[in-house]
Amino acid sequence: MSYNPNIPQASSKRVISQRQILANFSGIFDAFAKNHSPLGNNDLQGMHDIMILRDQTNVGNPTTTATQVAIYNKLVSSVPNLFYRPNNSQTPIQMTYPSIQTGLQPSPPNTYFPQQYSFVAGPFVFYAGIIKNPSNGQTITLTPIVSQLRFVGVGVTNFNGGNTFVNSVVASNILANTFQIVYQTAPPGINRDVYYIAIGN
């Protein structure tokens, strides 16, 4: 029986409303048991088994106060994805990606995809940028601060020093949120810029 919000009425006799109230309690129990550990299940009662988030695409991003955050579902190219909104209605962060491609191809023979991709979720910070004409051994400090950089990749662009020399660069001395730019083969007096990509947590 479905829940009836109009029970009991002030004029209802106990002999009549008693059955209706029991039916309401039964309806509440059945509704609450969906996606929750049911009432009467010791210490687990009321805890979520599953959380289903309704689409917020047409409603807009939820508003958060100084002491609130929000996790919600929104469509990205018609695919539902999970979003996190920090306190004070800061810029929402997309926590999932519509697809991944990893592992073996679906048809025989069992060969891996030549190009695979996934996404980074969790407490990771992704950095990318360009450093104009850095010196050899220059230390780069990234913000926001993370406890440890897990990956740093660098590459040279806008090289101006003739084509006689091979100009290669590596990220060295990676500590916390800093790394050094080290030229492996670079003649003095040339100009170059360095792109970097880094991931930390």
Amino acid 1: pLDDT: 60
**119 in a domain, yes or no?**
no
For residue 125, give the amino acid letter. V
How many domains does the chain fold into?
A: 3
Q: Both 133 and 190 in a single domain?
A: yes
Q: Both 110 and 131 in a single domain?
A: no
Question: d(Cα 128, Cα 139) in Å, to the nearest integer?
Answer: 16
Regions of the chain with pLDDT less than 50: none
Domain boundary among 89, 114, 139: 114
Amino acid 118: pLDDT: 80
Amino acid 60: pLDDT: 86
**150 in a domain, yes or no?**
yes
- Between the two ends of the chain, the Cα-to-Cα distance in Å is 51
Amino acid 6: pLDDT: 80
Amino acid 72: pLDDT: 92
Domain that holds residue 10: 1-50
Q: Both 139 and 158 in a single domain?
A: yes
Q: Which tokens sit at 189?
A: 């007096």
Amino acid 67: pLDDT: 96
Q: Both 142 and 190 in a single domain?
A: yes
Q: Both 185 and 148 in a single domain?
A: yes
Q: Both 188 and 173 in a single domain?
A: yes
Q: Both 160 and 196 in a single domain?
A: yes
**Residue 47, helix vs strand vs coil:** coil
Residue 16 CB-half CA count within 13 A: 7
Domain boundary among 30, 50, 70: 50
